[in-house]
């Protein structure tokens, strides 16, 4: 096996900004030949931007890239491939209706007498797969095979077409089961043994420690550090990703809601064995009136997937869900609204605000959808509702007719909260409601959550910031690797949660 000591890639002091956001600030990244290098970090850490810079999708404002000791400027994804850098994304970008062989050699088919030499095409593709000990019928359509095999075909195509020296695998296991993941890891190890350098982007800690040689951690667009995998305990890795020292995590102050929950109060929401193949293992959950349940866990742990099932964005294929004792039989956001369930989504820019609509129009969207567009809300009533919530939540704006895209991040988040509060929900699911907003706005939203609980609303609160989860939750459910790892009462410590997230219960 090759010794992974010499650097094939050095990225030095890479900086990249977007309007209002410094995505990368002076980031260094070194990749050795014949290593599997895990790139870790939460949402907004800068992982995707670093990969885009390396593959020519984005161009850095500062910094240098050295490939094989030579400074290069990666002009485009095509240029990146020509340099021997290839990426296999989470969503496989292949044609499932044509054969495996055609996918591997698409655009580079061997010719004979001006037409495709099908026998040679199949032979070349089979030989390429055989090098990774994959023995399948390459003449069959790609869609006939599992996602794991499709991943292998994408990897082989990258190696054959781009002659890749560096292979970037972006969340390759997100849709694979345990056996398929094991097969992928076998292929990754074979590639490592031939000297190919692999950048492995994932949120699964177990997999990082199973297959990677080194780990680079990014946080808020900055480099936290690069570490030998065997020398970095899981608990320390999580602490570095969250930006808290272990000592800090042990002394987090908690100021929970003071009200006590009635012990005999019937649950407003109850999930029993609720799950979805490939995204969430079956989970049990009960939520009572006036209760805030915190969901803690790293990105990819199953927090948002659970929120989507509870709100009906996705339909479970296992278990049951009841609201106020009545079984939910139809899963959809509209049906959830009728049951009094609301979801404030994780990504306010993609799933939340409609930036080209006004504050008023954004606030009344969910209420109007619940009523149906045949029962149009009178404009006077729209203004009444919007102005009431602007005042209640302290949204800074000269008018409810202001475009929501012109507001700050914190005020945009308050507009989304206003939208769902306007539906008068009994159950409110908040997925990262304070991400990317300033400290003052965070405190206001946290206080609002506690006030809503005091009014008797049931709240599921999801946050990557442990301080928030501990501050406002009566119970904390810790998610890990798409399953419920543990459930704790209000006296749980941050240190206990960190150890559970790391798999050290």
pTM here? 0.62
Sheet order of strands, 197-201 included: 85-88, 166-170, 197-201, 36-40, 214-219, 222-228
How high is the pLDDT of residue 276? 93
Helix axes 409-421, 379-393, angle to 10 degrees: 120
The domain 7-248 is placed in CATH, from the list 3.30.1330.60, 3.40.50.300, 2.170.120.20, 3.40.30.10, at 3.40.50.300
Give me the pLDDT at residue 32, please.
96
For the chain, the domains span 7-248, 250-501
Asked whether the domain spanning 250-501 has the same topology as the one spanning 7-248, the reply is yes
User: Bridge-partner residues for 146, per DSSP?
Assistant: none
Residue with tokens 């089979």: 126
10-residue stretch averages of pLDDT, the chain, 505 residues long: 69 88 91 96 82 94 94 93 86 84 86 89 90 88 86 83 84 76 88 94 86 94 95 88 61 45 74 93 94 89 92 93 92 88 73 83 87 84 92 83 80 83 89 67 76 90 85 92 91 88 77
Q: In this structure, are strands 21-32 and 7-18 parallel, antiparallel, or unpaired? A: antiparallel
- CB atoms inside a 10 Å sphere around CB 281: 18
User: Closest Cα partner for 254 from 438, 489, 433?
Assistant: 489
Please give the structure tokens belonging to residue 433: 């409601």
Using alpha carbons, select from 429, 494, 438, 501 the residue that is nearest to residue 468: 494
pLDDT of residue 368: 86
pLDDT of residue 256: 47
d(CA 64, CA 162): 23
197-201/269-276 β-pairing: unpaired
Sheet strand arrangement including 7-18: 21-32, 7-18, 62-67, 70-72
C-beta separation of 15 from 47 below 8 A: no
- Look at residue 344 in the predicted model and tell me its pLDDT: 84
Cα–Cα distance for residue pair 148/153, rounded to 1 Å: 9
What is the token pair recorded at 246? 């272990």
CB atoms within 10 A of CB 465: 17
Contact 300, 174 (CB under 8 A): yes
Secondary structure string (H, E, C) spanning 425-491:
CCEEEEECCCCCCCHHHHHHHHHHHHHHHHCCCEEEEECCCHHHHHHHCCEEEEEECCEEEEEECCC
Taking the C-alpha atoms of residue 497 and residue 479, their distance in angstroms, rounded to an integer, is: 10
CA distance 114 to 11: 44
Q: What is the DSSP letter of 260?
A: P
Spatial separation of the C-alpha atoms in residues 344 and 428, rounded to whole Å? 8
* Whole-number pLDDT of residue 5: 54
pLDDT at 160: 72
- The DSSP line for 131-196 is TTT----TTSBGGGS-HHHHHHHHHHHHHHHH--SEEEEESTTTT--HHHHHHHHHHHHHHHHTT-
Residue 255: the pLDDT is 42
| DSSP assignments along 310-347, one per residue | HHTSS--SEEEEEETTEEP-S--HHHHHHTTEEEE-S-
CB distance 4 to 34 below 8 Å: yes
Alpha carbon distance 465, 494 (integer Å)? 10
Q: How far does the chain reach from its first CA to its final CA, in angstroms?
A: 36
Concatenated DSSP letters of 354-402:
-TTSBHHHHHTHHHHHHH-TTSPPPHHHHHHHHHHHHHHHT---S-TTS
Q: Give the largest CA-CA distance in the chain.
A: 82
We find that the CATH architecture of domain 250-501 is 3-Layer(aba) Sandwich (3.40)
Q: Which residue has the tokens 């570095």?
A: 240
Contact (CB, 8 A) for 344 and 421? no
- Spatial neighbors of 500 by CB under 8 A, at least 6 apart, are 478, 480, 485, 486
């Amino acid at each position: 096996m090759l010794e992974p000591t010499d650097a094939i890639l050095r990225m030095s002091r890479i900086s990249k900004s977007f309007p209002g956001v410094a995505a990368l600030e002076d980031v260094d990244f070194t990749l050795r030949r014949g290593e599997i290098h895990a790139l870790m970090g939460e949402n907004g850490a800068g992982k995707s931007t670093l990969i885009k810079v390396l593959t020519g999708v984005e161009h850095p404002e500062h910094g240098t890239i050295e490939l094989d000791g030579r400074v290069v400027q990666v002009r485009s994804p095509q240029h990146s491939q020509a340099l021997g850098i290839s990426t296999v994304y989470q969503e496989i970008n292949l044609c499932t209706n044509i054969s495996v062989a055609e996918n591997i050699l698409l655009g580079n088919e061997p010719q004979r007498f001006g037409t495709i030499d099908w026998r040679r095409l199949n032979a070349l593709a089979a030989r390429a797969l055989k090098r990774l000990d994959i023995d399948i019928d390459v003449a069959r359509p790609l869609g006939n095979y599992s996602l794991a095999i499709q991943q292998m075909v994408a990897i082989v195509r990258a190696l054959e077409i781009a002659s890749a020296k560096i292979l970037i695998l972006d969340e390759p296991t997100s849709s694979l089961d345990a056996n398929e993941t094991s097969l992928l890891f076998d292929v990754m190890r074979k590639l490592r043994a031939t000297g190919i350098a692999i950048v492995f982007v994932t949120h699964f800690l177990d997999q990082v420690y199973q297959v990677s040689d080194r780990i680079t951690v990014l946080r808020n667009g900055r480099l936290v550090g690069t570490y030998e995998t065997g020398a970095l305990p899981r608990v320390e890795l999580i602490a570095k990703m969250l930006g808290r020292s272990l000592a800090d995590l042990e002394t987090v102050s908690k100021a929970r809601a003071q009200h006590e929950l009635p012990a005999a109060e019937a649950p407003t929401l109850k999930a029993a064995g609720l799950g979805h193949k490939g995204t969430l293992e079956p989970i049990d959950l009960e939520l009572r009136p006036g209760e805030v349940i915190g969901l803690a866990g790293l990105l990819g742990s199953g927090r948002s997937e659970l929120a989507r099932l509870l709100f009906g964005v996705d339909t479970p294929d296992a278990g049951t869900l009841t609201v106020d004792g009545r079984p939910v039989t139809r899963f959809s956001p509209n049906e959830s609204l009728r049951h009094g369930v609301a979801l404030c989504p994780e990504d306010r820019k993609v799933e939340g605000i409609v930036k080209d609509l006004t504050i008023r129009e954004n606030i009344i969207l969910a209420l109007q959808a619940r009523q149906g567009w045949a029962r149009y809300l009178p404009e006077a009533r729209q203004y009444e509702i919007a102005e009431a919530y602007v005042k209640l939540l302290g949204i800074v704006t000269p008018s409810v007719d202001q475009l929501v895209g012109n507001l700050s991040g914190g005020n945009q988040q308050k507009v989304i909260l206003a939208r769902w509060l306007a539906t008068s929900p009994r159950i409110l699911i908040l997925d990262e409601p304070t991400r990317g907003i300033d400290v003052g706005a965070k405190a206001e939203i946290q206080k609002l959550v506690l006030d809503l609980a005091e009014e008797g609303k049931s709240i599921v609160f999801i946050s990557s910031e442990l301080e928030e989860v501990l501050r406002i939750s009566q119970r904390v459910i810790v998610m890990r690797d798409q399953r419920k790892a543990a459930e704790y009462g209000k006296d749980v410590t941050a240190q206990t949660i960190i150890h559970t997230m790391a798999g050290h219960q």
